[in-house]
A and B are shown apart, each in its own frame.
Chain A
């Protein structure tokens, strides 16, 4: 049986799309997308902390152990690397038959360092993980987003994502 789904990293602070002004846009860097290595974790933790405000070292170590390295079939932890510097990352996996749905690719985290946004890095990361999903034989990709995070919603919409036939539900449990 597939192991329990890791929770989405702490709910990001609501982000309004910043105005489109990026010095990087005019002189795009050469960015390669590759699997994450142990040495990338400090940058990954820093980029995540810039978005969520929480440095979650032990969480990221456990994500790294579960999603990186050889033999991790259907699990992908990729980073965007520019001259040895990590600019962003994406994590996802292939999920089988959740709630009766045929296997599909799930993206459960994506982050690009704020200074390097709107320069195509997010698109490169998503394209790379989708290529992995295709190689794994799945042809549908899903994600779940906070409805007040307009920035990330706009990003996934721009990539062609549409509403899925699911409704996320939650409730508070009595203490």
Chain B
């Protein structure tokens, strides 16, 4: 599955905020990290604020902060603000979809859509943070396994 650019940016941003929910930070910080213009990101963050996921913070150092429950907000909740992951049956919009081939293809494609939706609807921001932590730990473990023992300086 390929997400549209704004959807990916929204997920990156929400997870940046979720990683430190007490902190509020300006759009420029996330824009720089993900290599997009602050102007572009501002539109995405405004959409997230309208959906009640972020709240804008006024005053010095302004920006946004997370106001949703990160143990209940799922990936699909964020994605659906920007796009529909998978179309309902028979709405692919191509001219062949009412033919026998088109109908059979529709059945197979909707199987895939169902799995996609079930996956996205069951992964909360909290679950994503745990997945990130596990990946980070696995990466560190790999590095420490590769590092020669004498590199610690303690072994001769």
Q: How far is the CA of A160 from the CA of B126 in the complex (A)?
A: 11
Q: Are B115 and A154 touching (Cβ within 8 A)? A: no
Q: Which A residues are in CB contact (< 8 Å) with B122?
A: 150, 153-154, 157
Q: Looking at the assembled complex, report how far the CB atom of A17 sits from the nearest CB atom of chain B, in whole angstroms.
A: 7
CB neighbours (8 Å) of B131 from chain A are 160
Q: Is A148 an interface residue (CB 8 A)?
A: yes
Q: Is B28 an interface residue (CB 8 A)?
A: no
CA distance A153 to B134 in the complex (A): 19
Q: Contact between B119 and A163 (Cβ–Cβ < 8 Å)? A: yes
Choose one: B69, B124, B130, B134; the contact of A154 (CB below 8 Å). Answer: B124
Q: A153–B118 contact, CB under 8 A?
A: yes
B119-146 with Cβ < 8 A to chain A: 119, 121-124, 126-127, 130-131, 134
- Taking a contact as CB atoms under 8 Å apart, the answer to whether B72 and A17 are in contact is yes
A-B contact pairs, 22 of them (CB 8 A): A17-B72, A20-B69, A20-B72, A147-B118, A148-B118, A150-B118, A150-B121, A150-B122, A153-B118, A153-B121, A153-B122, A154-B122, A154-B123, A154-B124, A154-B127, A157-B122, A157-B123, A157-B127, A158-B126, A158-B127, A160-B130, A160-B134
Which residues of the other chain, A, contact B69 by a CB distance below 8 angstroms? 20
Q: Number of B interface residues at 8 Å Cβ cutoff, please give it.
A: 17
Q: How far is the CB of B77 from chain A (nearest CB, A)?
A: 12
Q: How far is the CA of A153 from the CA of B123 in the complex (A)?
A: 8
> Is the C-beta of B98 less than 8 angstroms from some C-beta in chain A?
no
Interface check B71, CB cutoff 8 A: yes
Q: Which B residue's beta carbon lies closest to that of A152? A: B122
Contacts of A160 in B (CB 8 A): 130-131, 134
Q: How far is the CA of A153 from the CA of B114 in the complex (A)?
A: 14
- Could you say which residues of chain A place their CB within 8 Å of the CB of B123? 154, 157
CB distance from B30 to the nearest CB of A (A): 25
Taking the nearest CB of chain A, how far is it from the CB of B129, in angstroms? 11
In the bound complex, do residue A147 and residue B115 qualify as a contact, i.e. CB atoms below 8 Å apart? yes
- CB pair A20–B134 under 8 Å, yes or no, is no
Q: Enumerate chain B residues within 8 angstroms of A147, measured Cβ to Cβ.
A: 114-115, 118
Contacts of A20 in B (CB 8 A): 69, 71-72
**17 more CB-based (< 8 A) A-B contacts, given A20-B71, A147-B114:** A17-B72, A20-B72, A147-B115, A147-B118, A150-B118, A150-B121, A153-B121, A154-B74, A157-B122, A157-B124, A157-B127, A158-B124, A158-B127, A158-B130, A160-B130, A160-B134, A163-B119
Interface centre among B124, B127, B130, B131 (most CB of A within 10 A): B127
Task: Give Cα A40–Cα B130 distance, bound, in whole angstroms.
Answer: 35
Which of B69, B123, B134 is most buried by chain A, counting CB atoms within 10 A of its CB?
Answer: B123
